[in-house]
Chain A
Amino acid sequence: MKPRRTTSPARPRPTPRDVVGADPGPAFEITFDGRSVAALPGQSVAAALWAAGILAWRTTRGGGRPRGAFCGIGQCHDCLATVNGIPNRRACLLPARPGDAVTTQEGAGRADLAV
């Protein structure tokens, strides 16, 4: 366990959009707990929240602890959010739509999944 880096050489910091040469349509607004968040067409709800620096949008049923996306591919269900009043939506799968109101899902949301 040797290597240590102390300073980072100045380099222009690319963005994910630069790397793939993305030219999306105009951003639109969704809200998270009432706060305005910009989303790009084609992004999932989770991606739009990450882009805004938001990493948690659910609290657990037992300890009330914050959670957000973990597996990124629809498997873990940690990213469940309440979207437009409907709980238990997997934010990593759900495309963001203009005007979507995302709210922190507390606890179970609603127990309607047969698992």
Chain B
Amino acid sequence: MPTSPSDPHRDASGEHAVRSGAGVFDLVVIGAGPAGLAGAVAAGELGLRTALVDAAELTGGQFYRGPSPALGARRPEALHHAWSAYADLRERLRHCPAVSHLPGHHVWSVVRDPGHADRWTVHALTGPDGTDRAPVRLAARGLLIAAGAVERHLPFPGWTLPGVVGAGGAQAMLKSGLVLPGRRIVVAGSGPLLLAAATSLTAAGADVPALVEATGYLGYARHPGALAANPGKAAEAVTHGGALLRHRVPLYARSAVTAAHGRQRVEAVTVARLDRRWRPVPGTARRIACDAVAVGHGLIPQLDLVTTLGCAVRPTADGTHAVATDRSLATSVPTVWAAGETRGIGGAAVALAEGELAGLAAGARLRGAAVPPARTARLRRRIARLRSFADAMAAVHAPGPGWPEWLTDDTEVCRCEEVTADRVREAAADLGARDTRTVKLLTRAGMGWCQGRICATAVACLATRYGASDAGPAPDRRPLAAPVPLAALAELPAESGPKTAEPT
């Protein structure tokens, strides 16, 4: 596995490298999480010239996020489930010369090559935070989008205080940097990730004075078929449950953190019971002291790249959107496949299976590779079974419509632009904004640095609540999938794509 396909070719200014000398990849896989890694290995083993591109330095994505080698972890698997599947894939990647792993590559745009209708041009910024002065272009005959998910956040008063962090964010910082945001960490929100977060935070030495879940886990019982078909998932829940019992983590089900308190950082939270519609029940509030809060309300598929490519999307059981595919995981745009959380929130096991299936499908389509039908059939069965469980969970944890009742007028909804709930209400109710887009234009909510990645769900939900009609949370079209310095845009050639070598 070479780490770069060839020496970067320097352009006349000597300033930025363009990997045009690399020729044309059969497949560029965007995202090296469980889905992308499995996809690249499957495609590479079929002989496809494959680039595995990820913003991060290491493969593994969110689930298999591990500490940098420099931290010398002897047991990186201690904070993970199912590490052996990852270790196996990494080993196969190492022995697969057809796959080039390109770490530190932030893909910000994918376009059809104007010179070759059957090719894609992938634009990436490089460096740990994408600020190196060496933008890169890759040419590809096919794309596998395995970009994963982002956490869904519902605002509450005080959620912008230092010490309030994403539940997935706390996981990521712990797994990669071996650090905690505090010593007494309330874990709150909704979804299975909270169990994983509480388990690893306690294992790493934090006290978790409350695990606050907006739904009841009993909701799973309404989907007995999905549970029975997924014994591995039940075992995982039992492992988490056992660990939490051992650490005496109190579970507050059907409850929410409805406010965080503190001056320079969080010092306590208010926890209140919720009714079935997620409205706080009056008289049930209690205060719990803490020095950090890890909060998240499930995950949302990351659709920036697929929507700019024009791939069709579908609504999901928990009110978001995911990319639509056929049973070979091909999107509506020819030669573009999708796998993992981009196809809908489902967890690492389904991401591994889908990545493999998509890699095989790309091999068959782009290179005419022979794929044993039994292998494909086995993967399809596995995916169907795991997806049924994931959809059941998504339905259980979908946010109830009453959550905005815990907002105050001055609760910030958009963190970047500091837009309050009151201003969103004013735009929709008083200024007559009829859709989310107008609300955003009037308030600048969702138009800051993160381009609405954090607040889009909440803004759309509030806009409808206060009168906008079509606020249905259609996936945002973000022109850029990563923040791009103006300089990089200015340097783009106006017309034709990069000079690429002959197809291999």
Interaction A to B: yes
Binding site for B on A (CB under 8 A): 1, 3-5, 8-9, 13-25, 40-44, 46-48, 50-51, 55-56, 60-63, 65-78, 80, 89-90, 92-95, 112-115
Q: How far is the CA of A10 from the CA of B33 in the complex (A)?
A: 39
Please give, as numbers and ranges, the residues of chain B lying within 8 Å of A65 by CB-CB distance. Answer: 160, 418
Does B174 make an interface contact (CB < 8 A)?
yes
Please give, as numbers and ranges, the residues of chain B lying within 8 Å of A89 by CB-CB distance. Answer: 129, 131
Residue from the list B69, B71, B484 in contact with A113, Cβ < 8 A = B484
29 pairs, CB–CB < 8 Å, chain A vs chain B? A1-B271, A5-B209, A8-B207, A14-B204, A15-B205, A16-B178, A16-B180, A24-B72, A42-B177, A43-B68, A47-B173, A51-B177, A55-B181, A65-B418, A69-B165, A70-B415, A70-B454, A71-B150, A71-B166, A72-B170, A73-B168, A75-B450, A75-B453, A77-B416, A89-B129, A89-B131, A92-B169, A92-B172, A115-B449
Chain B nearest CB: distance from A89 CB in Å?
A: 6
Q: How far is the CA of A59 from the CA of B253 in the complex (A)?
A: 35
Given A4-B250, A71-B168, A93-B128: A23 and B74 interface contact (C-beta under 8 Å) = yes
Please give, as numbers and ranges, the residues of chain A lying within 8 Å of B449 by CB-CB distance. Answer: 76-77, 80, 113, 115
Q: What is the chain B residue whose CB lies nearest that of A23?
A: B72
- Beta-carbon contact of B179 and A66 below 8 Å: no
Please give, as numbers and ranges, the residues of chain A lying within 8 Å of B150 by CB-CB distance. Answer: 71, 73, 75
Q: How far is the CA of A24 from the CA of B73 in the complex (A)?
A: 7
Given A71-B169, A72-B165, A92-B173: A25 and B72 interface contact (C-beta under 8 Å) = yes
- Beta-carbon contact of A1 and B204 below 8 Å: no
* Number of interchain pairs (Cβ within 8 Å): 208
Please give, as numbers and ranges, the residues of chain B lying within 8 Å of A18 by CB-CB distance. Answer: 205
- Beta-carbon contact of A115 and B451 below 8 Å: yes
Q: How far is the CA of A68 from the CA of B252 in the complex (A)?
A: 28
Among B75-83, B226-234, B330-338, B457-465, the one that faces the other chain is B75-83
Residue picked from A18, A43, A62, most chain B C-beta under 10 Å? A43
Does B411 make an interface contact (CB < 8 A)?
no
Q: How far is the CA of A24 from the CA of B76 in the complex (A)?
A: 13
- Beta-carbon contact of A43 and B151 below 8 Å: no
Please give, as numbers and ranges, the residues of chain B lying within 8 Å of A113 by CB-CB distance. Answer: 449, 483-486
Binding site for A on B (CB under 8 A): 55, 62, 67-76, 78-79, 128-131, 150-151, 160, 162-166, 168-174, 176-181, 203-205, 207, 209, 248, 250-255, 264-265, 271, 273, 284, 286, 292, 415-418, 447-451, 453-454, 480, 483-487, 489
Given A8-B207, A14-B204, A75-B454: A1 and B73 interface contact (C-beta under 8 Å) = no
Q: What is the chain B residue whose CB lies nearest that of A86?
A: B131
- Beta-carbon contact of B55 and A20 below 8 Å: no
- Beta-carbon contact of A55 and B450 below 8 Å: no
The 9 residue pairs across chains A and B that have the minimum distance between CB atoms: A47-B177, A72-B169, A42-B68, A42-B70, A21-B74, A77-B449, A3-B250, A41-B70, A55-B162
Chain A nearest CB: distance from B338 CB in Å?
A: 19
Q: What is the chain A residue whose CB lies nearest that of B166?
A: A71
Chain A nearest CB: distance from B448 CB in Å?
A: 7
Chain B nearest CB: distance from A19 CB in Å?
A: 5
- Beta-carbon contact of B128 and A1 below 8 Å: no
- Beta-carbon contact of A76 and B205 below 8 Å: no
- Beta-carbon contact of A114 and B486 below 8 Å: yes
Chain B nearest CB: distance from A7 CB in Å?
A: 10
Please give, as numbers and ranges, the residues of chain B lying within 8 Å of A62 by CB-CB distance. Answer: 417-418
Q: How far is the CA of A112 from the CA of B490 in the complex (A)?
A: 12
Given A67-B160, A72-B172: A5 and B129 interface contact (C-beta under 8 Å) = no
- Beta-carbon contact of B177 and A20 below 8 Å: no
Q: How far is the CA of A17 from the CA of B284 in the complex (A)?
A: 39
Given A20-B178, A68-B162: A25 and B70 interface contact (C-beta under 8 Å) = yes
